[in-house]
Amino acid sequence: MFYNIQGGGKHKYLFYFRRIVGNNDNNLQFQSFETADNIVTMKRLLSIISFVFISFICFSQEPDSTTASKIQYGFCFGINISKFHKDNIDFNYATRPAVGLFENNKLSDDMNLKLSLLYSVKSSTLFYPGTKFSNTYFDLNIIPQYKLTQDLYLQAGLSYSQVLTAKKVILNGSNWNGVNKINDDEFNPELNITAGFECKIQDNINIDFSYNFIPAKKDNIQNFQILVNYPLDFKKVSHRKLIKLKSKSQIEALKNGLLLVRLKTFENKINALMEAGYTEDAAKVKTKQETENKKIVSAFRNYFNFCNVYFFFSNNTIEIKNRKFNNVFLNDSLVIDKTMTIDTTKSIFIAEFGNKEPDTTTYYYQFYKYEFIPDGNWSVKKVKRYYTYSPYSDFYALIIRDGNFVQLKKPFPFYVRAIFMSMRIHPEQALILPLTIYSLFLPWSYDKTVDRMNKKLHKYYEKSW
């Protein structure tokens, strides 16, 4: 049957469908659908789906590496434990599944904003047997989170549930499948305040507990939701990429920071010679090192302009490590200038002439593989085996370290060979023909070595940006 009802300047079309329940024709039930309301509902649903879908697509194509680290995507699945409220009828809790997608945005070190779109089934049974209600929803959750510990977040926010289908399920042995499902249009979209917590149980698995504890309407569904969140690494960064990103941030930090050049004093050697009575030898060592240090200072003053440079003696290394910068910096005459201060808010790097150390990949990035070894108790244990990209190397060079005096690594241009120093210390190396030919292409003075480092830093900085 079809009716056209006019009122309030709008047309509503009501369709009535007759459903036979049982074998008696007099036992009839009628169900109505308001097509205008259904159209509005579908528009709302499509708007929600489009918004979330466009959001996922846009963010997943974001090329900025910093954004990738702040936004996490994934899928989730779990259960709804629901209890309906309708016409003062007593309902029982029932459990049904839920599945969907989530997006977690890191707003600060302690705050996240989690968005999720779920397909949820919510159900509730009546106290008298044979009847239950089972509805399907699209749930849109907007949940701010606060970090209590490294693995635990408190959360509270809004949950909007859009009804997709609403069914009253009645056991009916006369039907072929034993049940009779009747559409129920008395369920409406719901808006609730939800609260709970999310905890990390493994590196890539979180469990989310939430409860709709403040319904917008008194007849809204009570729902306790338990979800397993599994993040998807759409932008998983490889180890090689991590190294490049680290080097990129370091070159920018150095450009805007400070380079502190450590000048050797050979204080221990000089004191040992003095104690042994070799006063003249001690004076020669001291004079020679002062000459070398002045050449280094002159080279940086004349050939280095990548960032601000300060100088300190090696016997003040502990003070620099502890960030005690009073009365440690030198003027160009190698005299401590008590009036000299630095901006401690800037990044600090260390430069010096010395032996290049082995690759420090294990220190920075903790690259490792697992290996199972006997533990001496008739079982095995899993241990990490660390590895690096390059073999041990040891040669004299101008080297750049971080503020903790840890040598940087490639692709950062952290060293320039100073072959002239190696030849001076070990002149017998000149007998090695390949090394001699190779040394012809390397700088043979402090000035050229510092100039080459300056050019390499400028080139890498321009390439990085």
* Contacts (Cβ under 8 Å, ≥6 apart) of 38: none
Per the structure, the complete domain to which residue 76 belongs is given by 60-232
From CA 417, how far away is CA 438, in angstroms rounded?
11
* Predicted confidence (pLDDT) at residue 185 exceeds the cutoff of 90: no
Q: By percentage, how much of the chain surpasses pLDDT 90?
A: 48
* Signed CA dihedral, 159, 165, 170, 171: sign only: negative
Label residue 202 exposed, middle or buried (CB < 10 Å: 0-12, 13-18, 19+).
Answer: exposed
> 228 with 247, same domain?
no
* Predicted confidence (pLDDT) at residue 65 exceeds the cutoff of 90: no
Q: Point out the least confidently predicted range of 87-101, 228-242, 280-294, 324-338.
A: 228-242
**Which of 232, 262, 288 is at the close of a domain?**
232
> 322 with 456, same domain?
yes
> 285 with 316, same domain?
yes
> 161 with 289, same domain?
no
Using pLDDT thresholds of 50, 70 and 90, give the confidence band for residue 461: very high
Q: What are the φ and ψ backbone dihedral angles of 6, each rounded to 5 degrees?
A: -110, 135
* Signed CA dihedral, 397, 403, 406, 411: sign only: negative
Q: Are strands 348-355 and 111-126 parallel, antiparallel or unpaired?
A: unpaired
Check residue 88 and give left, alpha or beta (phi > 0: left; psi -120 to 50: alpha).
Answer: left
pLDDT at residue 63, as a whole number? 43
* Predicted confidence (pLDDT) at residue 309 exceeds the cutoff of 80: yes
412 neighbors 460 (Cβ within 8 angstroms): yes
Which residue(s) pair with 77 in the sheet? Answer: 99, 228
**Which of 232, 257, 277 is at the close of a domain?**
232
Reported as a single tens digit per residue, the pLDDT across 321-347 is 999 999 999 999 999 999 999 999 999
Q: Total domain count for the chain?
A: 2
* Contacts (Cβ under 8 Å, ≥6 apart) of 276: none
pLDDT at residue 121, as a whole number? 94
Which residue(s) pair with 124 in the sheet? Answer: 93, 133
> 191 with 254, same domain?
no
Using pLDDT thresholds of 50, 70 and 90, give the confidence band for residue 129: low
- Is residue 93 assigned to a domain? yes
* Predicted confidence (pLDDT) at residue 313 exceeds the cutoff of 90: yes
223 neighbors 210 (Cβ within 8 angstroms): no
- Is residue 386 assigned to a domain? no
- Is residue 219 assigned to a domain? yes
The CATH number of whichever domain residue 154 belongs to comes to: 2.40.160.20
pLDDT at residue 243, as a whole number? 87
Tokens at residue 71, please?
């936004």
Between 151 and 329, where is the model more confident?
329
Q: Which residue has the tokens 């979180």?
A: 206
pTM exceeds 0.75, yes or no: no
> 209 with 268, same domain?
no
- Is residue 362 assigned to a domain? no
Using pLDDT thresholds of 50, 70 and 90, give the confidence band for residue 462: very high
- Is residue 368 assigned to a domain? no
> 260 with 123, same domain?
no
Reported as a single tens digit per residue, the pLDDT across 356-397 is 887 644 444 444 455 666 666 666 666 655 444 444 446 789
Q: Work out the average pLDDT over 421-448.
A: 64
Q: Work out the average pLDDT over 441-459.
A: 88
Reported as a single tens digit per residue, the pLDDT across 83-105 is 888 777 778 899 999 999 999 99
From CA 221, how far away is CA 124, in angstroms rounded?
9
- Is residue 98 assigned to a domain? yes
Q: Work out the average pLDDT over 118-137.
A: 86
Tokens at residue 321, please?
């490590």
pLDDT at residue 361, as a whole number? 47
pLDDT at residue 406, as a whole number? 92
* Predicted confidence (pLDDT) at residue 235 exceeds the cutoff of 80: no
Reported as a single tens digit per residue, the pLDDT across 189-203 is 999 999 999 998 887
> 93 with 187, same domain?
yes
* Predicted confidence (pLDDT) at residue 245 exceeds the cutoff of 70: yes
Q: Point out the least confidently predicted range of 116-130, 317-331, 341-355, 439-453.
A: 439-453
358 neighbors 366 (Cβ within 8 angstroms): no
> 287 with 406, same domain?
yes
Average pLDDT, the chain: 78
pLDDT at residue 22, as a whole number? 40
Using pLDDT thresholds of 50, 70 and 90, give the confidence band for residue 424: low
